[in-house]
Amino acid sequence: MAFFSSIRNALARSSASPSAFLSQPCLSSFYSTLTAPKLFISGLSRVTTDEKLQEAFAAFGNLVEAKVIIDRQSGRSKGFGFVTYETIEEAEKAREGMNAKFLDGWVIFVDPARPREPRAPPQQGQQPSETGFRTNKTVGWCG
């Protein structure tokens, strides 16, 4: 409570009126954090499809791709996806317009997509035994 009153007092003492302060352009529109036109969408419903994702994000620009990531075994959505636009400006508009909005009854979050991290190659030395189980080489308590 004291924090808000100190801010209110500081604004009241400043020479600029509050309306002039609010009319200044937002700096976030000048300094975009996006470096690529690809967005990561998290919090998707299990029933969200590629088509629904494309419909929701098409209003912000020309979509190159809208993809919901599917689990290989179950065939269901993993709850996240990616949307790619033609330009970074369109992706920034979509990020501002759709972040923390509802899609299929769930709140979704829109963030810049990061490059895929390289995976370690599979180890060739481990062969399954005749029973189909691998031997665990861990020594000690792993609880």
Mean pLDDT (the chain) is 79
The answer to whether the CB of 41 falls within 8 A of the CB of 59 is no
Tell me what pLDDT residue 47 has: 93
Higher pLDDT, 134 or 65: 65
Distance of CA 12 to the CA centre of its chain: 38
pLDDT tens track for 111-128 = 999 988 898 887 766 565
pLDDT above 70 (res 23): no
E-assigned strand segments in 1-143: 38-42, 63-70, 77-85, 101-103, 106-112
The arithmetic mean of pLDDT across residues 1-20, rounded, is 52
Whether the predicted model's global pTM rises above the 0.85 cut:
no
Label residues 54-84 b or e (16+ Cβ within 10 Å = b).
Answer: eebbeebbebeebebeeeeeeeebebbbebb
Q: How far apart are CA 124 and CA 126, in angstroms?
A: 6
Please, which residues bridge with residue 77 across strands?
A: 70
Higher pLDDT, 11 or 109: 109
